[in-house]
């Protein structure tokens, strides 16, 4: 049998926001006052975090313990109170928050100021969502679907913001669930265009191949979402972080396999997985 026909999605891997954060971090590693640390992992990709560590960039988890040096705010952003702590310390602060995340924070704050109950579509414990919620107020709600909404909403003027890596389908479901229950509903679609492009390209490809491999960190929300969307089109969808996780038995009797990757996955990791797939004799 011929080797697998491996097709890489037209839109896969690093987005502009991640590339920007990495460039800022690489520059800081060379020029900024030491020690240089990111507050939490810069992005949800173990390989990238390991590479940064080799370049002398560490990871700290508690802003209150920072003393001097340089601190890089990761692409997911930080909660408002964390930023206030950092502004009061003696470290150099480099803000690598993705501008799309910053926009979601600002829209959440404006909704709160204007008297809306803010509903955030996203993963409750995700760093980006925790940051957005800090601007949306303590009475804000975080949901992943309409089923997560309380039986009685604490307000009738409702504003919606979205974790930047959510899907349009989930947003549409939430809006449909909120509309009959709100007197006024203001929706800010803060899904970034890179997320939309990757999801559209990946699902189109998943409909045309015998299997899909999604490459990226297991903690990456946008990568997990890609895997979910691809699995809905092609049940033989596998989420891996590295070529070592690939099982040849997954592809027995198959002809074509599509490869896509989350916005925090570097090109070298995508190519490494594609090369491993090309070596499989199905």
> What pLDDT score was predicted for residue 247?
96
Q: How far apart are CA 100 and CA 79, in angstroms?
A: 15
Burial 159-188 (b: 16+ CB within 10 A, else e): bbbbbbbbbeebbebbbebbeeebeebbbb
Q: How far apart are CA 36 and CA 31, in angstroms?
A: 10
Residues in the chain: 282
Taking a C-beta distance cutoff of 8 angstroms, is the pair 282, 254 a contact?
yes
Taking a C-beta distance cutoff of 8 angstroms, is the pair 165, 192 a contact?
yes
Pairing of strands 141-143, 157-162: unpaired
> What pLDDT score was predicted for residue 10?
87
Do 16-98 and 100-191 fold alike per CATH?
A: no
Mean pLDDT, the chain, as a whole number? 95
Name which of 59, 25, 43 is nearest 128 in CA terms. 43
Active site residue 128: yes
Catalytic residue among 19, 113, 128, 208: 128
Class of domain 100-191: alpha beta
Give the end-to-end CA distance of the chain in Å, rounded to a whole number. Answer: 7
Q: What is the pLDDT of residues 99-110, one digit of tens each?
A: 999 999 999 999
Taking a C-beta distance cutoff of 8 angstroms, is the pair 262, 218 a contact?
no
Cα separation values, 228 from 30, 200, 223, Å? 39, 13, 9
Taking a C-beta distance cutoff of 8 angstroms, is the pair 190, 162 a contact?
yes
Structure tokens, 183? 């007197």
Distance of CA 249 to the CA centre of its chain: 30
Q: Pseudo-torsion of CA 18, 130, 109, 176, nearest 10°?
A: 90
> What pLDDT score was predicted for residue 67?
86
Taking a C-beta distance cutoff of 8 angstroms, is the pair 249, 222 a contact?
no
Structure tokens, 47? 């390989």
Task: List the beta bridge partners of residue 6.
Answer: 257
> What pLDDT score was predicted for residue 221?
87
User: Domain residue spans in the chain?
Assistant: 5-13+194-278, 16-98, 100-191
3-state class of 7 per DSSP? Answer: strand
**Fold category of 16-98 in CATH:** Rossmann fold (3.40.50)
| Average pLDDT per 10 consecutive residues for the chain, totaling 282 residues | 86 92 96 95 91 96 91 94 92 96 98 98 96 97 97 95 94 97 97 91 97 95 93 98 96 96 94 96 80
Class of domain 5-13+194-278: alpha beta
ω into 163 cis (within 30 of 0): no
Taking a C-beta distance cutoff of 8 angstroms, is the pair 143, 173 a contact?
no
3-state class of 247 per DSSP? Answer: coil
């Amino acid at each position: 049998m011929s080797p697998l026909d491996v097709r890489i999605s037209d839109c896969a891997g690093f987005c502009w926001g991640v590339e920007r954060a990495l460039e800022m971090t690489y520059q800081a590693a060379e020029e900024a006052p030491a020690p240089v640390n990111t507050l939490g992992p810069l992005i949800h990709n173990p390989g990238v975090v390991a590479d940064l560590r080799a370049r002398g960039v560490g990871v700290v988890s508690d802003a209150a313990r920072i003393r001097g040096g340089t601190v890089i705010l990761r692409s997911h952003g930080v909660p408002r109170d964390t930023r206030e702590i950092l502004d009061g310390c003696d470290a150099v602060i480099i803000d690598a928050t993705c501008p799309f995340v910053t926009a979601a924070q600002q829209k959440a704050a404006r909704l709160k100021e204007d008297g809306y109950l803010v509903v955030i579509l996203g993963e409750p414990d995700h760093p980006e969502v925790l940051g957005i919620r800090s601007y949306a107020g303590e009475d804000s709600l975080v949901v992943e679907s309409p089923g997560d909404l309380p039986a009685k909403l604490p307000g009738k003027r409702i504003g919606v913001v979205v974790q930047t890596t959510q899907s349009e389908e989930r947003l549409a479901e939430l809006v449909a669930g909120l509309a009959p229950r709100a007197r006024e509903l203001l929706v800010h679609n803060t899904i970034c265009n890179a997320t939309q492009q990757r999801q559209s390209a990946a699902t189109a490809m998943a409909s045309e191949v015998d299997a899909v491999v999604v490459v990226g960190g297991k903690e990456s929300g946008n990568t997990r979402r890609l895997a979910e969307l691809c699995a809905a089109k092609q049940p033989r969808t596998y989420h891996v972080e590295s070529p070592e996780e690939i099982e040849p038995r997954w592809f027995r009797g198959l002809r074509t396999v599509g490869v896509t990757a989350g916005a925090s996955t570097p090109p070298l990791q995508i190519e490494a997985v594609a090369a491993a797939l090309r070596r499989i004799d199905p």
